[in-house]
Amino acid sequence: MPEGPELHLASLFVNRKCDGVVFTGPVRKSEVSKSPDVPFTCEAYRITATSRGKEVKLTLTPMKSDDPKRRAKSGEADQPIDVVFRFGMSGFFRFTTEDELPKHAHLRFYSTEKPCRVLSFVDARRFGKWVPSGTWQADRGPCIMFEYQRFRENVVSHLSERAFDRPICEVLLNQKYFNGIGNYLRAEILFRLNIPPFVAARSVLEGLESEDFCEDEKAVKNGITNAKTSDRTQKERVKEEAGDLLRLCHTVPLEVVNQGGKGYDPEKADYTDFRAWLQCYYVDGMKSIRDHNGRTMWFTGDPGPMAPKDSKSPKAKKRAKKEVDHDYTAKKKGARSRSQSKTKGKKVIKQETKTPKKEKVARPKEAGSKLRTKTETNTPQHEKRSTGRGKKGSSAQPTTAGAQRRSARVTRQNSK
C-alpha cells in the first residue's frame, strides 16, 4: 500500500512530467470506476501537485489567454479546481501517450500535443478515491514529513486519550496522529528502536517532548544557545536521539523520499534499491503475525504482552511462492505434477487397504480349530493318495498287501 513517501514522490512525478505541458478538454473517467466525475472542462489548463501525509492534491489551473477577443466558452471553467486523491492499495500516476494508455487508468487528463499524451490515475484494485473540489481530510493529523513540529505537538498533547491504550504498532497506523505512516514504515521504525510491536503506545511515547531537541542542536552549532539544550549532558542527548520514536517517524520516511524515483518509479517499476533499504519488512529471518485489525506486523524478538492470541500470518509463504515462480505455464506444470502425485497416493492407499482383507481370509485357515481337526483326521487319506500316486512312478516300492494278493493268485492258478 502506498504510504507517505510514495504519495510525495507521486506529487513530484506529476510536477516533473507536467511541467510546461498544456492540457485541454474535459477530465475523463472510466466506465467501471465508482468515484465521482470531475466537472471540469477547459480549452487550456495546467496541472500541479502537492502532498500531505497519505493524500495528493492535483490543482487544475485554467490558462489566461493573451487575446482579449477570446472569451471562455459556455461550460468551461475559469477558476482553479483541486482534486484530492487517496491511493488505496495500488494507486499511482502514469504519463503516457494515448496509444499506451494503461488498462486500469480510471481518471485521465489529455494534453494538447500531437500525438496526445495523457496523465492518468491508475488503480488496478480500485480502492483508491478522488474528491473533486476537495480539501485535505479533516480527521487526518499533520504530515509526518513536512509538518514535523505540528506532528509532534499533536501526538504529545493527546497521549491521555484512549487511542494510546492500544499497541504501538496499531497506533502508528492511526492517521489522526501519524498521517503518512503505513505497514512497512511502522515495521522499520520499531525495528530500528528495538521496540516490541505489541506494547502499549503510551508507555513508549511517555516522556517525549513536544519540541525536538535535535533541531535545537543545529541552532547551538550556529552560535544560538538554548537553555533546554545547554542543561542536558551529551549522554542524555544521545539517549534521546536513539529512543525518540517521533523523530524516526519523520526521518525514516525521508530516507525513502531521498531515494527519488527508485522508491517510486511507475514507468520502470524498479524497486531493487528500496528492497535493499528494508531491514525488517518482508526480510528473511523476521517474524510476522496479524495485529487486532488483521494487518501483518513484521518484527524480531518478543512481540510484546498485547499480542493477539493464536494469530497466524500466511503472507510469508505467499510471497515466497511469487518470488520463486512468476510463470503461469510453470505453475500449470506444477499443478499437474501435484495432481499426479495425489492420484498415486490414492492408489497406494487402495493397495494398502486390500492387504488386510487377504490377511483376514488367511488367518482362519491357519488358526481355526475346526480346520485343524479336519486336517488331523484326514491325514491317512492324504497318505493313501500319496502312495497311489507313488505307484505310477517307476521307482515306487510294492507294499506287503500287494505281495500277498499276487501270491494268492499264483496258488489258485497252480491248483487249477
Distance in angstroms (rounded) separating the CA atoms of residues 8 and 246 = 19
Distance in angstroms (rounded) separating the CA atoms of residues 246 and 148 = 9
In the block, cell 487377504 appears at: 358
Distance in angstroms (rounded) separating the CA atoms of residues 185 and 183 = 6
Distance in angstroms (rounded) separating the CA atoms of residues 122 and 236 = 48
Contact residues for 2 (Cβ-Cβ < 8 A; gap 6+): 10, 54, 87, 90, 91, 92, 182
54 is catalytic: yes
DSSP state of 100: G
Q: What are phi and psi of 82, to 5 degrees?
A: -105, 135
What residue type is assigned to position 348 of the chain?
V
Which candidate, 193, 195, 223, 226, places its Cα nearest to that of 212?
226
- Cα pseudo-dihedral 29, 33, 35, 39, rounded to 10: 20
DSSP state of 283: -
Between the CA of residue 259 and those of 13, 69, 271, what are the distances in Å? 13, 48, 10
The active-site residue, picked from 6, 17, 29, 54, is: 54
Kindly list the catalytic residues.
2-3, 54
